Structure 1
Amino acid sequence: MNGHEDRPGTAGRPGGGPERRARPEEEPREAATARPEDVRTEDALSEGARSEGARSEGAGPEGVGPEDVRTETDAKVAELEDRWLRAVADLDNLRKRFSRDAERLRAEEQDRVAAEWLPVLDNLELALSHAAGDEEGGAAPIMDGIRAVRDQAVAVLARLGYTRHDETGVPFDPAHHDAMATIARPDVEPGTVVQVVRPGYGDGRRQLRPAVVVVAKKAD
Structure 2
Amino acid sequence: MGGDGLLASWKRIIGQGAPLALASICLTLLLLSANSIVLSTTGRTGIFVFAVCMNLLQVYNLFLSGTCQTLQSLGAIQVGKGDYNGLKAVLRRAFRFITVSMAITCAFVWIDPQAIARLFGAVDPAMIQESKHALRVFALSFIPFCYIYVLMIVYKLYSQHRMALFISLALSLTVIPVLWLMARYVPQYLWYSYLVAYVIEAVVIFILHKARHIQFKQA
* TM-score (ref. length: structure 1): 0.25
TM-score, with structure 2 as normaliser: 0.25
Larger strand share, 1 or 2: 1
Between Structure 1 and Structure 2, which shows a larger proportion of helix residues?
Answer: 2
**Higher Cα Rg: structure 1 or 2?**
1
Q: Which has the higher contact order (CA 8 A, sep 6+)?
A: 2
